[in-house]
Structure 1
């Protein structure tokens, strides 16, 4: 039991360090701009949430991503076209949650996560995130509902939790 607490403590410290080191204002501004540009080509609404340390009440990153999806109101779009890209730095986990209006398969989202995970493992944070936004854009161009591309319903700024 003691060893688990130590590992959890180390993971929490690492998550905080990763967020401070790799997710500064400049990186977040680049990602926000890329999200804004990508949303001009489809009706999808992408939200990036980066969490340094998952709360103790939730042990599984997927369930935490669902909770964040709801709390950030990613579901609250006119065409049910919200997508959450969630990073749990302490768990080294990436989750994508898409609303019911998006017809992409789980395998497509999983490929985005795998590619991003590989880039992050190499320390390629900014380019990895921008590539993930581009990958998501390509998916949304094909699988988001038809509608007004100019309506920007959700904030493009990444959320730090």
Structure 2
């Protein structure tokens, strides 16, 4: 656990999350999820967290470990066809993690998700939060369209609006 990381987490406020993911950006993210889910039978959830709580930070919890917790807390794993995908952003670490249910992960693999995360992190470093998020959602949707094509009307199992933690 580095002192720089602790300071970043202490200084990253809820206000900073709301500024990076403005109401317009959150609406665009929700619309992108809704639009992409029309083309596949998967379920996508987008969650943003400003900083870790002090206990998690002192434990040295990684963004990946936290993303797995959020995957469970938001019940992304509880989709009917094991095809839920969480895109998790930890703003203080400037980290993006994708956690996919076992059905999807077996088909896409870690390499496929890491490429999407890296592209989103690059966009976020440039301040392009809306565009980075929407392009990341579209990239996830490409995988889901290949492996879980739409078969008629689908049930919306996860919220389309981004979750701010």
With normalisation by structure 1, the TM-score equals 0.90
**Partner secondary structure for residue 96 of structure 2:** strand
**Inter-CA distance 60–86: structure 2 relative to 1 (3 Å threshold):** same
Residue 76 of structure 1 is aligned with which of 64, 75, 78?
A: 78
Does 2:112 align with 1:114?
no
Q: What is the Cα deviation at residue 42 of structure 1?
A: 0.7
Runs of 4+ aligned structure 1 residues displaced above 4 Å come to: 145-149
Alignment of 1:38-77 (within 5 A): 38-58=36-56, 59-77=61-79
Does 2:40 align with 1:22?
no
Q: Which residue of 2 aligns with 1:31?
A: 29
Q: Which residue of 1 aligns with 2:159?
A: 155
With normalisation by structure 2, the TM-score equals 0.88
Alignment root-mean-square deviation, CA: 2.0
Residue 90 of structure 2 is aligned with which of 81, 88, 91?
A: 88
Moved more, 142-151 or 23-32: 142-151
Structure 1 unpaired stretches of 5+: none
Structure 2 unpaired stretches of 5+: none
